[in-house]
Homo-oligomer: A and B are copies of this chain.
């Protein structure tokens, strides 16, 4: 059988599962999620065996240590997978919620009711724990999911999915609810991206190259972000100690993620006070600074930033630093070079705080807090399936509710149009 037919069968099976999934009682979904969490823990030796096949292949292929680390299903990773599923069980069920209702002059009652999106194609890279996270979130929102993980994790992903499927079928959930594409071929992804008739949305998560590949090949709507070029702007009125703490946290706490700061903007009026101690802290943490000419007059030994640095997503201990004339210049810089992801201002000025929140068109905008809070769990969504900078449908961290849509419901008593 060709991959084309195989993928088509998977997609059709997912579509067929939709009607049952959309109407599952909340209690059934929650019981299945709890059961999945327990089954993962009980099957840890089986899962580790499948994972060992992937890990040894990755070693043979000479993958970097960081990647092998992310690929490995340790006890603590398995525990966190189980915990995530239990937490998703505790979240409110978005499906069926009627958020508002109003009456028309002709007597019609019109409302908006949340329903599942339908079939979600989820394309991601190495970590096998994402397999159970995504499956849990999609099930909670009443969607069928087609999972396409990294080729280096294929054995782990198939083993995880088998366990989740076993549990869900014991709860009367159709087999099409959770499926893993059983191949590592890229052609299979291309086939999947053509099936507009069966798949409602594609969510890719991974490096920019993967996401650009998906966007350029997909006939199906894609929710994504390419990268996170996040800024902290230290305003003239900032509490400088707070500004140091926030800037340090935003850059150093976890530099390899999309909500880490990549460019630090500093108001000219406080640059001479703020930058030297800040730079010393960054240097102690091994952060390489790249500065504008004004920054380099203050911090003599700093390397010159090039134009490309202002839009760079380093994902590393590197930071671009630029001195700004004020709020307007800082916002113009963010709009020009940023990625609409996450930006923060540190200020004690009421008007500047409000203007920054109102005018910066990024998916998460903060005052006096680290950019690292741009995360579904941290913002209170319970868990996240990803972060969108697409503006359409969801903008920012996406939780369970963003895996649903709203339809219009209308209660009439015989109304016709005239």
A: which residues have CB within 8 A of B? 18-19, 22-23, 96, 102, 104, 108, 110, 113, 115-118, 196, 200-201, 215-216, 219, 221-223, 239, 242, 245-246, 248-250, 253, 331-332, 335, 353, 357-359, 361-370, 372-374, 378-380, 390-393, 395-397, 405-418
Contacts and interface: CB of A to CB of B under 8 A. Distances in A.
Contact of A365 (B215, B391, B407): B407
A118 B391 contact: yes
Contacts of A223: 392
A396 B407 contact: yes
A373 B409 CA distance: 11
Count the copies.
Answer: 2
Contact of A412 (B219, B368, B414): B368
Contacts of A215: 196, 219
A362 B405 CA distance: 11
Contact of A113 (B113, B249, B357, B418): B357
A168 B221 CA distance: 34
B379 A405 contact: no
A236 to B, nearest CB: 17
B410 A364 contact: yes
A200 B379 CA distance: 25
Task: Output the residue of A19, A104, A415 with the most chain B CB within 10 A.
Answer: A415
The 3 closest A-B pairs by CB, nearest first: A369-B412, A249-B416, A366-B410
A416 B380 contact: no
Contact of A414 (B96, B368, B414): B368
Nearest to A239: B414
B392 A117 contact: yes
Contact of A416 (B200, B253, B331, B413): B253
A365 B408 contact: yes
30 contacts: A19-B335, A19-B359, A104-B379, A108-B369, A110-B380, A117-B391, A117-B392, A118-B361, A118-B391, A196-B215, A245-B414, A246-B416, A248-B416, A249-B416, A253-B417, A253-B418, A357-B411, A361-B407, A364-B408, A364-B409, A365-B408, A366-B410, A370-B417, A372-B416, A373-B410, A378-B417, A393-B393, A395-B407, A396-B406, A396-B408
Nearest to A222: B221
A45 B377 CA distance: 60
A237 to B, nearest CB: 14
Given A373-B108, A379-B408, A395-B406, A361 B416 contact: no
A407 B245 contact: no
A118 B335 CA distance: 12
A104 B410 CA distance: 36
A97 B368 CA distance: 22
Contacts of A416: 245-246, 248-250, 253, 369-370, 372
A338 to B, nearest CB: 12
Contact of A219 (B216, B357, B378): B216
